[in-house]
Structure 1
Amino acid sequence: MKPETNRNRGLMAALLAITLTGPAAAFELDSDIPIKVTADNARLDDNQGIATYTGDVELEQGETHLSAKRVVLYRDENGLNRIEAFGNPARYRQPSREGGGETDARALNITWSAADQRLIFERQAVIEQNGNLFRGDIIHYDTARRVVTAQGGADSGEGSGRVEMVIQPRSTDRRTDRQESDGSSEGQ
């Protein structure tokens, strides 16, 4: 791999980590707020610790929301430890940590792992927040360290297969203030 490619990937990861102010920990297992699941069908295998929900599945905890065609919950002796969602696409929404907007993410597969403190969006993954957009074949979000990494995929004809980012400027207030001070813009 070329050094330039490695440098670009490092820059991309740094930009994603700086601009994405995502959820604190996705689903809060230590919370007193229960996780509510509704679906058309449910199957619980208590011996295996697996619950499978199908048909317009809605999973909520407080303001965190996951919707999909199929959701599988895995639990062990410590409780719920993994959630897998499948849809066309599956969708994850949660208010941002700082209260400035909402994280709206979608992918064909979404996996949340309590042990890894990680959200993984796979296949046609898109995360939008406050006008910022991140698109890739696979997007990993480490909720503990607040680090996002994204990977492109094969060119499917619907795009280049590369990771795409749209990052909004930090503040548009400064440009507005400059224009209002003398009635003209700085660039004229």
Structure 2
Amino acid sequence: MSGPDDPAHLHDQHPGMRKHQAGDPIDLPSERHQDAWASHELQCPEKRAQFTKALDSIFSVKEHRDTSHSDEHLDKCDFVYDVGASSLKNDFQCRMVLSFRMDVNIMSEVTHRRLNIALQPYYGNTIPALGCGDRKPLGTVDIEWAFCGRMKRYRTTFYVVADVEYDLLLGLPSMWQHELYRVDSEILKRLNAS
């Protein structure tokens, strides 16, 4: 299916942009096109993975000349996607970290408040929270969510944790359960390496 909304045609819609290959410098859009570029260009998981790789290579201390090793640094990175989260009362867009190092799903307390959803009690032990050490969850919630620009919806239980720096975090078991390897080839590579 090809058309004006097809990600392959997005470069044609934004003057001054060109499709880049791995290893090419990224052409940044002019200031007046930045918002349109960001909202369209980064909706596609493949483009987001490309952008993440490009940023990582810019800030990398060691320059990778051998392309056979160019993806090695990805085994230390988590992926971040824009998702639409929904409850019976609210829908909103937020950021989800796909963590290949964690086995739990976490929702920030702020995101929980924005969704305005009932909190189920949690009486268990502390859980590991990425970037924060072990934390005692405030409770759990079940929500539906979808990758922005995609129709498929997922239902997931999250621990609600205070003072985390991300909206949502999805752990490794849920990535397998939801078959997220079908969404983005970079996810498949990381899952196979885990």
In the superposition, the TM-score normalised over structure 1's length comes to: 0.25
| Structure number having the greater helix percentage | 2
| Structure number having the greater strand percentage | 1
In the superposition, the TM-score normalised over structure 2's length comes to: 0.25
| Higher radius of gyration, 1 or 2 | 1
